[in-house]
Amino acid sequence: MAELEGIYTIWLRETKRFFRYRSRIITSVVTPMLWLLIFGTGLGAAVRFGNIPGGYEAFIYPGIIGQTILFTSIFSGLSVIMDRQYGFLKEILVAPISRPSLVLGKALGISTAAVIQATILLLLSFIVGVSMTPLVFILCMGIALIMSVGLGGLGLVIAAFTDSMEGFNLIMSFLCYPCSF
């Protein structure tokens, strides 16, 4: 029972950190929409997609949602480095819960932020003409959850072995940018 309470507490801290910064929520929705408008409109005019409903914008929409989950999940591992620099990580490590529970709580908190962003983007699917049935929405949310937990865990593992924010950003850029293309 103490393990579940510890996981919940770490998850709650990460979730509160996400909601505390309103600019993070706004930019997490505005940035993918700008990608959609810039690349969807610009490249869509140059690429012929025949009879695909919604055109090129509808084609790249799932990729933009995936890219949002990727960057949010992996770069949230940066919180471990910040916690280490401010001494909070030492306090967490002496808590009476196991280390896997700490990692799981952080990964769930990170994935909550990514899934919230994916939910907002999925609810805005009508902008690009993508029809969203309840079953498709639920399946997309399941995939988003699996992706965000896995990528968040990857970010946490890399952050655990990285000493500085600069080194973490360099490694993440090396991994994420090829994935985005």
Name the DSSP letter for residue 49: -
- What is the greatest pairwise CA distance in the chain? 60
Which residues lie closer than 8 Å to 77 by C-beta, 6 or more apart?
110, 152, 154, 155, 156, 157, 158, 159, 168, 172
Domain borders along the chain are: 2-180
pLDDT digits (tens, 9 = 90+) for 83-133: 888 887 777 777 788 888 888 888 898 899 889 989 988 888 887 777 788
Global pTM?
0.81
* Mean pLDDT, the chain cut into blocks of 10 residues (181 residues total): 86 87 80 78 66 71 86 82 81 81 88 90 82 89 92 86 83 79 67
- pLDDT recorded at residue 74: 82
